[in-house]
Structures are given as structure tokens and as C-alpha cells.
A and B are shown apart, each in its own frame.
Chain A
Amino acid sequence: MVRKLPRKDVVIVGLGWTGAILAHELTDAGLDVVAIERGPWRDTATDFNVAYAPDELRYAIRKDLFLQPAQEAMTMRNNISQTALPMRDYGSFLPGTGVGGAGTHWNGHTWRFFPSDFVLKTHLTERYGAGRIADLTVQDWGVSYDELENSFDRFEYLAGISGKAGNLNGKIEAGGNPFEGPRSREYPLPPMQMTYAPTLFAEAARSIGLHPFPTPSANLSKAYVNPLGIAMGQCTFCGFCERFGCANYSKSSAHTTILPVLMRKSNFEARTECEVLKVDLASDGKTAKGVTYVDVTGELCEQPADIVLLNAYGLHNVRLMLLSKIGTPYDPATGTGTVGRNYAYQTNASTQVFFEGKNFNPFIAAGALGQTVDDYNGDAFDHAALDFVGGAGINCIPTNGRPIAYRPTPPGTPRWGSAWKKAAKQNYGNTLTFSSQGSSYAARGNYLDLDPTYKDRFGRPLLRVTFDFPDNDIRMSNWVSDRMQQIATTLGGKQAVVGRARKGWNSVPYQSTHNTGGAIMGTDPNTSAVNRHLQSWDVPNVFVVGASAFPQNAGKNPTGPVGALAFWAADAIRNHYLKNPGKLVQA
């Protein structure tokens, strides 16, 4: 028996950053909106209690705020010649669960991608010729940086981002990122006060001609009241951002920026611990009728709605589309189909410099408190003489000096015993870490589909991730590692260990939760799942919002563009779709 519920104007799947932004925008437009979230309700004082929020064992090791494989696992393999197997634990990336989603436990790096990133295929073809990207399936977004500028700005002011503009209306500003696209105004808050390690890193980088600047941060440098009237506090540098909820109302998330207003609206409802099984389509398959979900008691419910918004984590958006038969699944053999296409990730490497006689106090930290060098990111530098495209940001952001997991020791140190203890003690305060976060450019063999064998507890096929680092990205990352070596040498220290990316992505060690693509946006329905307004080409009353829309990934954290896309999609719905429901782009 399915319980059929009264119709709503809009049903939203997932109440994280994008779900909350869309819900706020569409309830403001007068629509009756319900958000369905499979995790629990969460709020700051009760769920991130200041007295126990910094519990590394509970949150960072046992992963209390994350999706558990028993609820939904994925299968993984490096290429189509292998058989994908289900993971036993989320390792390489950590999707969130619960109200606020992954935006609850993020670090707070809030970037805008470069203008060239949005027209990547066109830009690289014009600059280096089509041959340079023949092995890749990079595409243009269908929306330009200039068109998105206002949406970026709105997200940054909603969240109270702390930073220094590098390009104000085309004028390069001292102290900011000279490579960024023009912004219409300064960040809402000044940069965070720097700690010792990023300060040293910036001095070293500057001395060899690079352009370090404070990483734009959603950990607030000052008290702030956002445009919705919601107040936030100044970050205390407690060092518990990534994997933790913020107990101090000082890391931007849906809880600290939107939900207090949203939850009081009479035309909004949040249903938690309700898992959406599929989007229900009309018999012609061209219109969504609503969604079917299982509520907390296990009862099957049908929620009819005129508009369906997929605002789950990017990978889950793609799986829901595949399960609901929205769009054509991507086929790597022929390169046709759109859903699952251009799955991309991030190509990272880290560097440790071991000093003597320093005291970096690594426990004084925040998720995005640090310095970044963008000289080797994206296409900020000339690739003409190089054998790759793309790049990486180099970041010195000491995010955590936590007691269990942060034990830097130089190579050759025994893994246990008195020698290990001595080295751990010696190096805890004497180690400076910085890392490269590299672009991940789409390749034909990297994609998402439904696993033919393994199913979840409701009998639905698991999502299958087929991914390996493309050769282009490995060459890029290693070239940037050479640049990191230069910085490490400049820094001095008694020993430096520079990491290097290698083929053979491994799903076990944590690497990055910046999974992108699979339901990408674009201008051609043959190569994109959603149009430039995030509207499904195939089922026009479905919008799919999140990093699933990125045609490829840049060398930056994705939350800024994800937030901007939420505002961009909301505008399309408010200003265009509601007046004339149907396809916003004819193709």
C-alpha cells in the first residue's frame, strides 16, 4: 500500500545547501514547498553541542555525520575491464547525511572557478588547438562566469565569506588572487587572521615570484548578519571543521544561514528520515508527477508535486535519475547517452616539511584558514610547452592538529614504540603541511551507472563508480608537485616529503569529497543531462542542482559554484519557468 499525500507545488529531494537555498527562494515566490531528507533533523545547540562537538573519535573516526554504507553503499572500479565491488566503508570521499548535508561538515573553502573554466573546451581549443584535449571529454558549461557573477555574490553574502578580492570590476587588487574573475564587490568580511604556518608559506611563495593570498573562507573572520537577518559569530580557530558540525555558529551552513528563516515559513515543510526511492514519471516519461519515498516508519508514501528538484549529493542525484529513468544512461563504449557522463573527481598531492625549533601550534586552526597560490591553477599559466592541460591550487591550510589522526613523522620512523612516540612528539609542532588540489578533467572511461549485481536494502541497484585518474591529470599533478618541491626548498627545514599522484585510484584512503559530474549541464542535449538552467532536457519539470552539473572539475573546492548554481537555477524557475512551464531551452 502506498500512502498518497496531498499535492505540493514543489518537492525537494535533500535539505543541504542547495535544497535550503532553493526552498527559500521558491517559498519567497509563494510556492508551497516540501523538502524530503533521508537523514535526521539537526541543529546547532542540540546536535553540535559545544561541550562535545570536538569529539574526534565520534565524528572524524566513526563518521557520525556521514552516510553509512548500510544505508547506501556504492560499487567501485578503475575501468570497465574490472568487476566493481561494494565498498565496506566510505573512505575516499564522505557524503553527508541529515539536514544540512555535506555542508554541515565541510571545511569552508569557498571559491569561484576561473572564467575560463566555464568555457573550458572553447578556451583550450582556441589557445592550444583541439588536439590537446583529444583524450578528454571536457565541455563548456553553457553558462558564463559573467552570467553567474551575481549568483556567486549572493552565495558569498548569504554565507559571510571572509576573503580579499583580487579583481574588483576588472581592477587587480593587492593582496587578493590576481587570477580570479572580476567580482562586483569586495567579500562581505575581511580575511581571517593568519597563523604561523600559512604566514611562512606565503613568504616563501612570494619570494619566488608567486602570488599567495588568503584562502576565501566560510569560517567567519568577524561577527556577521547576513541578508536574511541571521547572525553568525566569529570563528574561534578550534580546528574542528572538516567532519564536524560547528558549535559556535561561525561556519556557514544551511543551519547558520537559511534554516532559521526557512523553518518558520508556513509554506515550507521539512520531512526528515524519509528516503526518496524514485521520481515518479507520467506514463509518457516526459513529466514528473512527484516522488515516492519511504518514511521513518517504513511506510511507502507518494508525494505529488508540479516541480521536482533533485538537491541530493551529486552522486545521489545521478543515481536517482538513473533509477527513475530520467534521460538516457551514458554508454562509455559508444560515448552516447548523458546520465552518468563526465564523472570527475580531484587530483591531489600533499607536501610535508619537517623543521626543528618551530612551533606551528597546529591545533589552532580552522577549515579554510590559510594561504593559497593560484599561479599554477586552471589555465592561469601557459601550457604551450607542457604535456597536459589543467592545474592545481597550492594550499597551506593547516585544518587540524587533532589528537588521534594528526601524527606527522618523517619517512623511516617506526610505526609504533618508543621511537615513534619520540618522533611524534618532536614533529607535532614542527611540521608544515601544504598540498595541491588539482583539476579533474573528464575522460571517456570515467562515468557513473547502476551496478548490475549489487542492490540496496530496498532492492534498488547501487551506483557504480568507474574512475581512474586520466594520464593528463597525473602529468598535471606531478608537474605541480615539482613546483611544490620548489616552495618546500625555499621554506628550508630539515626534510621535505613531496607527494605524487599515481594511477590506480584507491577508494580507501580519504582524498576529497569533491565528486563532480554525472548529470552535467550544457547546451547540447546529446552531451549534457540538464540545460544551462539545470533543467532536465528530458523531463522539464525536474531540475538537478549540485556538483553533478559540473562538466569537469577545477582545481578548487566546489561549494562556491554549487551555491551559485542553486541561485542560478532558482532564478530560472522564478523568472522563467513559473511564467511558462516547459522547456526553458529548445534544442
Chain B
Amino acid sequence: MKKAALLAGVVAAALVSASGFASDLFDRINAGRYKAVLADCAACHTKPGGQPFAGGAPLDTPFGKLIPSNITPDRETGIGNWSYADFRGALKEGVGKGGKRLYPAMPYPAYSAMTEADIADLWAYFQKIEPVSNRVVSNQLPFPFSIRTVMIGWNLLNFSPSEFKPDPAKSAEWNRGAYLVNGPAHCGTCHTPKSLLGADKTDQFLRAGNLQSWVAPDITNDAHKGIGGWAAEDIVAYLKTGANRFDIASGPMSEVVANSTQYWTDADLTAVATYLKDIKGAGTAPPRPLDAGDPLMLAGKAIFVDRCSACHVSSGEGAPFLFPKLAKAPVVNGDDPTSLIRVVLEGSQAGTTKARPTTPAMPSFAWNLGDAEVASVLSYVRNSWGNAAPAVTPAQVKDMRTKLAR
């Protein structure tokens, strides 16, 4: 209930925020509410079914477990005794109250691009939300990652705080999109590949990342692996409603749509679409698809026709707003099949928005498809109808099965 009321407020805020930076406190709080939506603070800091911003569900990082902190203004367990400087430092520099180093699972490398005005709005808002007493022990990393000061070195290597600088050669809309994607919306946190140290590989911006056993696909304009086939309106529809004629949001992205992008202004969504359409992908030539007569493909096709084609259609076209299109889909053509293996084994339920409330679900096939069968059907999907991507191996399926069983 509370969450619903909060989100309703967000919609109102979206209308107010168009007036820009306002000195009046009420306007500042409302503007901050919208900025919190843009930055999707709830995604991490609100546990499913929990109190808003009182601390989130554990994040599995390659280095161990982190629990997003309580950012309500509770004096004991939240940020009630923080100063504006503490708050600003956390967002801009990754250093919280008392010089405590944050881990970059909190996307301060992206938030550092945010304008001072936006951070001030956020501060105004987070001071006024309902304080919730909820003690969170954020750092559950194993040694040596548990030592926060290691982040000094990490930051030296991987992080140089810098506020977003508009590109005068580009349109205002493009610049707004660039600001949102690189700053508050922190799209790269999931969609950009990471180095061994967990930092963005900036030369591969938005070309697919893997975290928590999901792949955030390539969202560059690459024609094969990215969303080059999507028009700007398709991107807007996806972010606003969770579905478009190609795809329907599921996994962690469905939460992004549910908590954040569905409440964005159309102008901001269009700006993001304009910017994304201008991001060049790797541009590498697609691999040669497996031969249709390959035994792996034949085995995969038989399974696809029997188990998958009723929904996804024998041509891989899917059904609009219901069953994702598999032909020429970024997540299918990406190098990393993690999400594909996962949804076949575990099933997946699409997210919901007011505009697209269907929440269709794919059932789990872990119980009646073996590792080799999953591998062959996915290899078939990845090499049919214009798709081309490396075959999936039974070992990859086995690994995922083991992970999901944990």
C-alpha cells in the first residue's frame, strides 16, 4: 500500500519536475522524488515487500555478498545523522559519513556524473521520507574485500569523479539522454562489461554485462548483438511499459521498469532513446551461424518445435507484448548465453506495468530437459532465423543448474 502511494506520488512529481530546479522546498522534495526514480534507488535499497529505502535484498557480487543500506533518515540505522556533505560525498566520491569507503555496487562511479542540483534535490527528498529503524550490516564480503580501505586503491585505478559535461556538438535531447544513461540511470552498471576488478570496461560501453547470473544484453545500436533493429519509439515503449513489439522485460530489468522507467517523463525516455541509438556497438561481423543440418541444430529444432514453438512460434517471431521475439534479439545473439540458459531452466515471469499488465510467464523446463537438450535447443535458437552466436555447451547448462540449485 505504502509503495503504491509512493509511486503515485512519483507520477505527480514527474509533472512538477519539468519546471526544473526550484528553490521552494516543496518543489525541491518533489523534484528529488523524481530524481530518486531516475536513479532507481529503490531497486537496491528497498527489499521486496520491505519498507521503502530501509535496506535491500542481498546483492551477489563476484567478490561476495553486499546488502544495500538503510537510506531513510532514521538517526540510528539510516542516514538521519548525515550531513549534506556526507550525502554528496557518497554519491560523488564513494565516501560516506566518517570517511567510510563504499563499494562500487553502489554506482557512485555513475552518480558522480550527476549535477549538484540533482544531488541537492535528492538530499531534500531523502531527508523527508519516513524514517525506518532497520539495522543493515552492509559489508558481508570475505577478507580481504571486507576491508573498506581497499577501495582507495580501487578508486585510484578505476574511478575519476567528474560531473557530466554536455557535448556542444550534440542536441540538447542527446545530451539529456547521455546525462541520464551515464549518470542517474547508471545503465552501464549492468550493461557494460566489467574488468577483473569489477570496473566498467569503458571501451566496451553498454555492450552487455553479466551479474547475479543474468546477462544485461548489449544495448548499443549494433545491428546484430544490440538494439540496432529497434526504432527510438520501440525503446521508449519498452522502458515506459515493459514491453514492445520485440521483447518484454523480465529478470532484473523488469524491476527497473517497474520501479523506475515507467514513471519517467516521455521527454526523458525519448532523450535516452536518442542517445542509445547513437551509441556504436562493437560492429564486429556476426559469426557464421551453425549449419542447419548440424546434428546439434537438428536435435535443437526437434525440441524447439515440440516445447517452444507454441509460444515463440516456429519462425521465432513470438507474440507482441506476450512472448518475446527470439529472431534477431540482442539477448539471443550476445556472446554470453547466461540469461537464456537461466530462463529455460528456471522459467521467468515478465514484469508488470499499468500499461502492460499481462505478466506472462515461461515455465521451468529444468525438470524435463537434460543439460544436452537445453544446450541443443539454445544452440538452435542462437543460430536460426537470422541469429548467429556461439553454440551453448552442456557444461554451461550444468553450471547454471548447479548455481540455481544453491
Contacts and interface: CB of A to CB of B under 8 A. Distances in A.
A229 B363 contact: no
B357 A230 contact: yes
A249 B360 contact: yes
Contact of A229 (B323, B355, B362, B368): B355
A266 B8 CA distance: 13
Interface in B340-396: 347, 349, 352, 354-365, 368
Interface of A: 43-46, 49-52, 223, 225, 228-234, 236, 238, 247-249, 260-261, 264, 266
Nearest to B308: A50
B320 A231 contact: yes
A229 B4 CA distance: 19
Contacts of B322: 223, 231-233, 249
Interface string B102-114: 0000000000000
B1 interface: yes
Interface residues of B, number: 27
B347 A260 contact: no
B320 A223 contact: yes
Given A44-B360, A232-B322, 4 more contacts: A223-B320, A231-B360, A247-B310, A264-B352
Contacts of A230: 357-358
B203 to A, nearest CB: 39
Interface hub of A223, A233, A234 (most chain B Cβ within 10 A): A233
B192 to A, nearest CB: 32
Contacts of A45: 347, 349, 360-363
Interface string B304-332: 00010011000000011111000000000
Interface string B1-39: 100100000000000000000000000000000000000
Which 4 residue pairs spanning A and B have beta carbons closest together? A45-B361, A231-B321, A49-B363, A233-B319
Nearest to B4: A266
B323 A233 contact: yes
A52 B243 CA distance: 28
A225 B355 CA distance: 11
Contacts of B321: 225, 231
A249 B320 CA distance: 12
Contact of A261 (B1, B4, B349, B357): B357
A248 B310 contact: yes
A223 B310 CA distance: 13
A113 to B, nearest CB: 31
The interface residues of chain A, by DSSP majority, are classed as loop
A223 B319 contact: yes
Interface of B: 1, 4, 243, 307, 310-311, 319-323, 347, 349, 352, 354-365, 368
A260 B357 contact: yes
A366 to B, nearest CB: 12
Nearest to A256: B358
A233 B359 contact: no
Contacts of A44: 360-361
A225 B365 CA distance: 27
19 contacts: A45-B363, A46-B361, A50-B307, A50-B311, A50-B363, A51-B365, A51-B368, A228-B357, A229-B355, A229-B357, A230-B358, A231-B243, A231-B320, A233-B319, A260-B357, A260-B358, A260-B359, A264-B352, A264-B357
A49 B365 CA distance: 9
A451 B319 CA distance: 51
A496 B16 CA distance: 75
Nearest to A237: B310
Given A229-B355, A231-B319, A248 B311 contact: yes
Contacts of B319: 223, 231, 233-234
Given A229-B357, A233-B311, A236-B310, A260 B362 contact: no
Contacts of B1: 266
Contacts of A229: 354-358
Nearest to A44: B361
Contacts of A247: 310, 363
A46 B361 CA distance: 8
Contacts of B363: 45-46, 49-51, 247
A270 B322 CA distance: 25
A230 B356 CA distance: 7
A261 B358 CA distance: 8
Contacts of A238: 310
Contacts of A233: 311, 319, 322-323
Nearest to A236: B310
Nearest to A54: B310
Nearest to B248: A231
Contacts of B354: 229
Nearest to B365: A51
Contacts of B310: 50, 236, 238, 247-248
A229 B359 CA distance: 11
Contacts of A248: 310-311
Contacts of B357: 228-230, 260-261, 264
Nearest to B361: A45
Interface hub of B307, B360, B361 (most chain A Cβ within 10 A): B360
